[in-house]
Amino acid sequence: MAEVHVIGQIMGATGFSESSLFCKWGVHTGAAWKLLSGVREGQTQVDTPQVGDMAYWSHPIDLHFATKGLQGWPRLHLQVWSQDGFGRCQLAGYGFCHVPSSPGSHQLHCPTWRPLGPWREQLARAFVGGGPQLLHGDAVYSGADRYRLRTVASGLVHLELGLLLRHFDRYGVQC
């Protein structure tokens, strides 16, 4: 079986209007993929930056996959949340990005969005926080069922991923 190592960091986020941010992340793969070691999902620290407007998480990722097929190449899905002074959390953005398919190190900038409710909810969110969330998180990384959503852009999540491939050339696969 061919092997893929994904090693890197979720660096942080920019462009969100909220200041104390954290990120819930997970990896989704096809059925042919097996996670040999590493954790499939996690949650970063909450950063309140003092310099600049980028929240830094420096959250390490180290995943070791074995695969029998190319379909279902790993994709990372991200949920950015903000925390206010009372410790309440509110959704700031959803996003996903495919793990790059070529070996080497990659800088990824994942755009995010959040669901937009009717104007009454939007008004309520502006004053008291909250706002709509997805019931099923898989809409973040799958294209089905998206057409019913109304969304608005939010910030960018920055990732730095290194990719190590093993034995792909043995099967004639070019990445």
From residue 99 to residue 138, the character string flagging contacts with another protein as x (rule: CB under 8 A) and all else as - is ---xxxx-x-x-----------------------------
Residue 165 touches another protein, criterion: CB under 8 A: yes
Among 16, 26, 28, 56, binds another protein (CB under 8 A): 56
Say if CB 117 and CB 85 are below 8 A apart.
no
Least distance between another protein and beta carbon 43 (Å)? 4
Classified as helix, coil or strand, 31 is coil
Residues 8-27, one symbol each (x = binds another protein by CB under 8 A, - = not), give xx-xx-x-----x-x-----
Is residue 113 exposed (0-12), middle (13-18) or buried (19+ Cβ within 10 Å)?
middle
164 binds another protein (CB under 8 A): yes
Q: Tell whether residue 163 is a contact of another protein (CB under 8 A).
A: yes
73 contributes a contact to another protein by CB under 8 A: no
